[in-house]
Amino acid sequence: MCSLFVNGLVGGSSLLPFLLPQLSSRTHRVSLTSCGLQMFLMYTYSSVEFFNLAAMAYDRYVAICFPLSYRRRLCPRAVGTVLALVWGNSLSLGAFVATLVTSVKFCRSRIHKIYCNYYDLGSLVCADDAFVGPSIKVVELLYMSTALLGMVAFIVFTYVRILMVCFRGSRQTRQKAVSTCAPHLASLTNYGLGLFLEESQTKFDIQNISRVFQVFLSLYIVVGPPLLNALLYGLNMSQLRAVCKGLLAPKNI
């Protein structure tokens, strides 16, 4: 859970510190260094978010399918190893993309989003460095076809096994599975929606829709998942839930 919340801060840091100066500026310019840093944070955030969800799927799988060996399979050392792999791979991906983009020359300077991304920057590269644009897209393709598809297959496998246990188990087992998996499925669906909205902006022409809706599409991947995660897993804490209930239904004095 802590990894999700920390990653939410990374996602917010990839947008708000860069966006606030733009709101008070008339030129709306951003340096290439700031653009590279923003892409580093964005790629790190997106990768960590998905790998966290895959790790949580495994946690649900072990809790429901192997409850007696849960503590042995997910001991502190194993959890630490998983977190190290998640953050190490994500930081490496972010650093690679940021280095690739900031090491070339750009002949144009206008992007259509409110933050820097690989698609817009790849189309601004000069002819001498024209290989960089396709290279960024190759990185995206490799990442989508290996890491993302691999994790999707892994998540599907865990939930197929969970469903098999639920169908063979008692009503109490099914209720436990629903209460355990529902927040994770909601987070996974919400993040998938964010990815779809993000990719749809590069695959389809959205210039004809309103500017407000374009901004919403751009911001959802950064704002939507952390906000929902905070609500789902924060309200699941008994102390915080008790405080919220007290605010909504205060006792009469």
Tens-place pLDDT, residues 228-239: 887 777 666 555
pLDDT at res. 223: 83
Please state the rounded mean pLDDT for residues 112-128.
70
Please state the rounded mean pLDDT for residues 48-72.
88
CA 83 vs CA 31, 51, 55, 78: distances in Å: 32, 9, 9, 9
Contacts of 59 by beta carbon, 8 Å cutoff, 6+ apart: 74
pLDDT digits (tens, 9 = 90+) for 176-188: 788 878 888 888 8
Residue 32 has pLDDT above 70, yes or no: yes
Coil, helix or strand at residue 137:
helix
Residue 210 has pLDDT above 50, yes or no: yes
pTM above 0.85, yes or no: no
What is the pLDDT confidence band of residue 253, given thresholds at 50, 70 and 90?
very low
CA 194 vs CA 85, 153, 178, 218, 225: distances in Å: 23, 19, 24, 9, 8
Return the domain boundaries, the chain.
2-248
**CATH number at 2-248:** 1.20.1070.10
pLDDT at res. 33: 80
Residue 111 CA to its chain's centroid (Å): 23
Residue 108 CA to its chain's centroid (Å): 29
- Which is more confident, 246 or 189? 189
pLDDT at res. 113: 73
pLDDT at res. 143: 66
